[in-house]
Each structure stands twice: as structure tokens, then as C-alpha cells.
Amino acid sequence: MRLILYIGRRLLFIVPQLLGIVLVGFLLVKSIPGDPAVLMLGPTATPDAIASLHTKLGLDRSLPVQFWIYIRNLAHGDLGTSWQTTRPVLEDLVQRFPATLELVSLGLVLAVLIGVPLGLASAFNESSWLARIANFYGLGAGSLPDFWLALVLIFIFYTTLQWVPAPLGRIDLSLVPPPPVTGMLTVDSLLAGDWSAFRSAVGHLILPALTLGLINAGPILKMTQSSMEKMLQSDFSRYEVLCGMPHRLVVRHALRNALPSIVTIISVLYGFLIGGAVLVEIVFSWGGAGQYAVQGVLNSDLYPVLGFVLFSAIFSLFVYLVVDLIYFAIDPRISH
């Protein structure tokens, strides 16, 4: 019962938070130079056509009114139209968001698989060679520019070794993509039983996911390591040693206590990467949501940017809510 109240209260807070985000985004986007009407109609547009589009879009009204119009449309599921794709932003995002989600999710899974074991290993035995490598990796990975690492990986695995297909999009251009259910090609091709599509999707997914994985393993490793160290040096760990508890038990308990921090950083990275994977998306022509938003900014196409900001904010807030629920489950102190 308490749980339902908690979730309810959080959801209630989400609405004003989202409004705030949309407001800031709106102001930001409006300060980008470029007349949307002109861009939509193209260079051959007449002044009359432009003026009437202005009226239709509400661009001749004051800013607060424009904001109100946008919110009102939002409530009806209308996120505006992109002049570049000439399609509704909602449609564009529904197509692109799963692509980013697929990429980021797999990237994070790889990052956890690399980062957590290395972090644990280096926390156990600080002077071992594995610990040194882990330390170096933890610092170094965060120093690598993601777009550069992507290029290096492309050079090694595509140009030189020819192990992966060309870095152009999410699936082989000659193949027919599976019917969209979730929007994620790997999942959809599995659901449709289409093996060649699946293999192609995975082949295209590996390199960009590996790029994200290798880089984001760094912060995860560091957090695992520092959190485990902190727990192992804490009073209760030392007390367990004092009570003659065997090493593996002390470590297991320390890990349980360190989990909240590790889960936190994973969730923060998850929210961050939705927009933060942009450069990798661009290098691999992934067609993801972040790329869509960046193109929007660079071409003064404003609605895609706002739509993306909204999507990404909702996603982050949702992730944070799930994480807090996980904390509820792990840590008995929080229920107070």
C-alpha cells in the first residue's frame, strides 16, 4: 500500500518536472535563429504563403501563447512536424527512439559485463596486476572520445579484418526489415523468425554497441571499485572480520551494500546515453533519436529537438523511478 502511495506521489511530481523541461527546451529552441515557415516551404515560397503558414503555426503570436499552443497540441499527441522529413515528429521519434534504445541497452549491458567484474577484481586485491589494469582502464576509458574510438574500431574490424559489415545503418540495405513490433530490429527479427535479418541486425549492432560498452565500462568499473573498497573498509566489514568471518562472506556482504551505488551509476548512464550516444549514432549512420535531434538543431528544425528532449526526459524520469523502487527492495532503511 505504501508502495502505491509512493509511486503515485512520484508520478504526480513528474508532470510539473516535465513541464519545466519542456519550457526550458521551448525557450532554448526558440532562440535558435531560423524561420520555420521559410524552411518548411523552401526557397521558392512567396511572402503570402509564408505569412499564412506563420498564422497557421501560430508563429505570429507572442511567446507565452506559442508555448500554450504547443502544450495544448502535446496533450493531443501532436508534437509538431519536422520540415526535414515532412512527417509528424511523433512518428519520426517512434521510429527512431527504439533504435537508440536498442543500441544504448546493448552498450550498457556490455559495459556492465566489462566494468563490474574488473571493478570487483581490483577491489579484492589492490596490488594484483589485474587491479592495476583495471585502474588504468577505469581512468583511460573515460578519456577516450567516443566518436574516435568508433573510427578506430571501424578501421580495425571493418577496414582491416573485414569481420563486420560496413558501418552504414542498422541492417543490410538489400534485406527487407522485419515487421515493426517494438521497433528494435534484433527483437523484431527474432519475433518474425527471420534469421538473416537477425544476423544482419546483430552484425551492424556490434561495433557501435562495443564502442559505447568499452567507454562506459570505465565509470561503472570505477564506481564498483570505489564502492566495494568503501564497503570493505567500513565499520561493519571490519566488524565481520573481527568476528572471524571468512573472506568470501565479508566480500559478499560488502557487495550487497555496494549495489545501490552501482545501480545508481548504471541508471544515470542509461538516462545520459539516450542523448549521449549521438556521436556514435552519427558515425555509424544509425538513424537514432539523438542524431535526429542534433540534425534538428543544426538545421533549425525545432519540433524534433523539443520532441526528443521530451522523450529523453520521460525516459530518464522513468528509469530513476524504477531505480528508486529497486532501492526499496534492497535497502530496508529506506522504507522509513
Partner 1 sequence: MNAVDAALMVERLRVEFPVLGGKPKVAVRDLDLSILPGEILGLVGESGAGKTTLARAILNLPPPPGRIVAGVIQFDGKDLLRLSERELQSIRVRNISMVVPNPRGELNPLVPVGEQLASIARVHLGKDKSSARAMALEMLRAVQIPDPERRMRAYPHELSGGMAQRVVIAIALMCSPRFIISDDATSGLDVTVQAQILELLSHLARKQGSAMLFITRDIGITAHFCDRVAVIYRGEIMEIAPRESFFLSPRHPYTMLLLAAFLHNPQLRQAWTHPDASLRVNPDAGIGCAYTYRCPRAREMCHTIRPPLAERTSGHFVRCHFPLERE
Partner 2 sequence: MPKVLNFLKLAVRIAQVRPRFLLGYVIVLVAIMAGLLAPFLSPYSPIAADSSHFLQAPSKTHWFGTDAVGMDIFTRTIYAPRIDLTIAITGTLLSALVGSFIGALVGYFSTGRGIRVHLSYAVMRAADVLQAFPVFVFAIALVASFGQSIQTVVLAIAFVNAPIYLRLMRAQVMAIREMRYVEASLVAGLSDFQTILRHIIPNAMTPVLAQLSINVGWAILLTAGLSFIGAGVRAPTPEWGSMIAMGFQNVATGQWWPSVFPGLALAGTVFGFSLVGLSIEVFADPIKRRALVRDLEIARRSREVAALSGAEGALSAGDAP
Interacting residue ranges for partner 1, rule: CB under 8 A: 233, 235-236, 238-247, 249, 253, 256-257, 330-333
**Least distance from partner 1 to the Cβ atom of residue 251, Å:** 13
C-alpha cell at 89: 515528429
Report how far residue 81's alpha carbon sits from residue 78's, in angstroms, rounded to the nearest whole number: 8
C-alpha cell at 197: 535479418
**The 3-state secondary structure of 39-97, one letter per residue:** HHHCCCCCHHHHHHHHHHHCCCCCHHHHHHHHHHHHHCCCCCECCCCCCEHHHHHHHHH
C-alpha cell at 223: 564506481
Residue 238: name its binding partner from partner 1, partner 2, none (Cβ under 5 to 8 Å by kind). Answer: partner 1
Per-residue mark of binding to partner 2, 153-192 (x: CB under 8 A): -xx--xx------xx-------------------------
H or E segment to which residue 284 belongs: none
Q: Which is nearer to partner 1, 182 or 233 (CB)?
A: 233
- Which of 217, 230, 255 lies closest to 136 in space, CA to CA? 217
Answer whether 295's CB lies under 8 Å from 84's CB: yes
Q: Does 139 bind partner 2 (CB under 8 A)?
A: yes
Residue 75: name its binding partner from partner 1, partner 2, none (Cβ under 5 to 8 Å by kind). Answer: none
Residue 177: what are its φ and ψ, rounded to 5°?
Answer: -70, 150
Residue 242: name its binding partner from partner 1, partner 2, none (Cβ under 5 to 8 Å by kind). Answer: partner 1
Per-residue mark of binding to partner 2, 305-324 (x: CB under 8 A): x--xx--xx--xx-------
Number of H helices, E strands in the chain: 14, 0
Q: Does 151 bind partner 2 (CB under 8 A)?
A: yes
C-alpha cell at 141: 576509458
Site residues for partner 2 per CB under 8 A: 17, 20-21, 24-25, 28-29, 31-33, 135, 139-140, 142-149, 151-152, 154-155, 158-159, 166-167, 272, 274-276, 278-279, 282-283, 290, 293-294, 297-298, 300, 305, 308-309, 312-313, 316-317
